[in-house]
Amino acid sequence: MRNFSLLALCATLTFLTGTAKADLPPGVGHDETVKVCGKCHSPEQAASMRQTRTGWEETISKMVNMGSEGTDEEYERVLDYLTKQFGPEAPKPIEINKASSIELEAGLGLTRSESAALVKYRTEKGEFKTLDDVKVVPGIDFKKVEARKARLKF
């Protein structure tokens, strides 16, 4: 049973490797999370896990028991980071190439006309690959998008 639990945890957390450093939102504890957890897992799936602080404490404790290495200070920063960025109330990523006009309004704080302009541009010109691609969309206040860039998924 213990081996199954460890296997399940590994499968669930196969996300915390340093290969996708840019996929995690910036913030205090980001680098420690990539450093400590990234030795065994890929970070991109962290966004799919939403846990309370207690849930993240339990996950980190399991990882330590499985051999994760870091200082107490690093683990505290990792815990704070995961709790803030991937807590149960944390905002979900916005898939800018798939989101509807309404989802773009709500998620990026755009007006109805701005979100419509974004969808129209995306439909006519193709998918956005980077934040710079969004910058050239006429009819939007790019500052609104830039303020929420950590939530964008391309």
Low-confidence ranges of the chain (pLDDT < 70): 1-23, 43-48, 90
Q: What are phi and psi of 40, to 5 degrees?
A: -125, -20
Q: What is the pLDDT of residues 54-76, one digit of tens each?
A: 999 999 999 899 999 999 999 99
47, 16 contact by CB (below 8 A): no
pLDDT recorded at residue 153: 93
For the whole prediction, is pTM greater than 0.85?
Answer: no
Per-residue burial over 17-41, b if 16 or more Cβ lie within 10 Å, else e, is: beebeebbbeeebbbbbbbbbbebb
Q: What is the pLDDT of residue 43?
A: 65
Q: Where are the domains of the chain?
A: 2-85, 94-153
Return the SS3 of 17.
Answer: strand
pLDDT confidence of residue 107? 87
Q: How far apart are CA 34 and CA 19, in angstroms?
A: 9
Tokens 């910036």 map to which residue? Answer: 26
pLDDT value at position 21?
A: 44
* pLDDT value for 45: 56
